Amino acid sequence: MLDQLNAIEKDALAGLNAAADSAALEVWRIQHLGRNSALMTILGDLGKLSKEERPAIGKRGNEVKKALEDALAAKAEALRRAEMERALTAGAVDVTLPGRPIARGRLHPATQGLRKMYAVFAEMGFQVYRSREVETDDYNFTYLNIPPHHPARDMWDTFHTLTPGVILRTHTSPGQIRAMREYCPEPIRVILPGMCYRYEQPDARHEIQFYQIEGLAVGKHITFSDLKGTLSDFARRLFGQKVRTRFYADHFPFTEPSAGMDIECFLCGGRGCRVCSGTGWLEILGGGMVHPAVLRNGGYDPRVYSGFAFGMGPQRITMLMHRIEDIRHFLANDLRFLEQF
């Protein structure tokens, strides 16, 4: 039986040298070290041997088993290294090449436009004042000289919440009252940017949610000339020193007198085109002198203080700057559009 064990070891080691991959190695393991292999059968039958034969056969059988297991482990490691070497050399990857750069995100075009306008107003001495998007009816309408059942409320298609008297703000003007009540009786020079909500039919120029920038200045001896100079200077800083502006009479319940402001169409130079509807002018904002009733609701005495306010749509201004034809692109999350900025 010792000769049989020696033969098993010799044949197994010879077969192991012929194993060329992991699959062949597994077949060899089952054949020579598996439960039904010749070696395991001999070790399993030790109890049938005589007391004289059992120690020698058992010792030699364990030696053969350990030799085969050690040889199997060495062969498996050699095959693993060989397979790794083939994978590194046979593939098309050159590990010495520099890695591919990771694509970096960009600011949204609406955010880029907002920041340009923030910078312009900051240079003019305005600070940013944040106000809430969910407002009360009083702040959104009543304190702005638009009492209940006033026909001017039809100008804003309002989203109402389940709580009576609580709405989504239709414009950033409610922030005027909050800013005045916070700073009164100090002078104010703030802009109030933020999202607004109106129940409108979306089209190329309208969305149900959109950005506005409100401007407010309150102090003693503020006149309409200050408003006109501020807005004209804003247009020149944003669109260039040669841009022309014009003012025209308008109406807003919370300002008196009120005005709108156009800039000369910079696409056609005032000659008339599709963007300006052939007029040569583009509307960018509206404003006026703060109504005495609004000043009073904000805590200021209109006999002592005066102020101006204006509101603009920064998304529409960004559309003009980049010749964007549809406001819905801003919220569509289309990478073909966003990656251009």
Sign of the CA dihedral 330, 331, 336, 341?
positive
159 forms bridges with which residues in the sheet? 168
**What pLDDT is stored for residue 91 in this prediction?**
62
Is residue 64 exposed (0-12), middle (13-18) or buried (19+ Cβ within 10 Å)? buried
**What pLDDT is stored for residue 40 in this prediction?**
76
**What pLDDT is stored for residue 23 in this prediction?**
82
Amino acid identity for residue 119 in this structure: A
Tens digits of pLDDT across the chain (341 residues): 677 777 777 777 787 777 778 888 788 778 877 877 887 777 777 777 777 777 777 777 778 788 878 888 888 888 888 888 777 776 666 778 888 888 888 899 999 999 999 999 999 999 999 999 999 999 999 999 999 888 878 777 899 999 999 999 999 999 999 999 999 999 999 999 999 999 888 887 778 899 999 999 999 999 999 999 999 999 999 988 888 899 999 999 999 999 999 988 776 777 887 667 788 888 889 999 999 999 999 999 999 999 999 999 898 888 878 878 888 889 888 888 888 88
**Phi, psi values for residue 281, rounded to 5°:** -130, 150
Mean of pLDDT over the chain? 87
**What pLDDT is stored for residue 58 in this prediction?**
74
Look at strands 159-160 and 255-264 and give their pairing.
unpaired
DSSP run (H or E) holding 246: strand 245-252
**What pLDDT is stored for residue 303 in this prediction?**
95
Tell the CATH topology of 109-338: BirA Bifunctional Protein; domain 2 (3.30.930)
Residues 175 and 190: their CA atoms lie apart, in Å, by 10
Residues 312 and 284: their CA atoms lie apart, in Å, by 6
Which residue has tokens 């298609």? 157
- Of 142, 125, 147, 283, which is closest to residue 216 (Cα–Cα)? 125
CA 19 to chain centre: 56
**What pLDDT is stored for residue 87 in this prediction?**
73
**What pLDDT is stored for residue 275 in this prediction?**
64
Q: What is the DSSP letter of 325?
A: -
Neighbours of 117 (CB within 10 A): 20
The domain ranges of the chain are 2-90, 109-338
3-state secondary structure of 249: strand
CA-CA distances (angstroms) from residue 261 to 16, 126, 275, 284? 91, 20, 17, 6
199 forms bridges with which residues in the sheet? none
**What pLDDT is stored for residue 1 in this prediction?**
67
List, for residues 10-53, the tens digit of each pLDDT value: 777 787 777 778 888 788 778 877 877 887 777 777 777 777 77
Reading the block at residue 285, the tokens are 């904002």
**What pLDDT is stored for residue 152 in this prediction?**
77
**What pLDDT is stored for residue 230 in this prediction?**
96
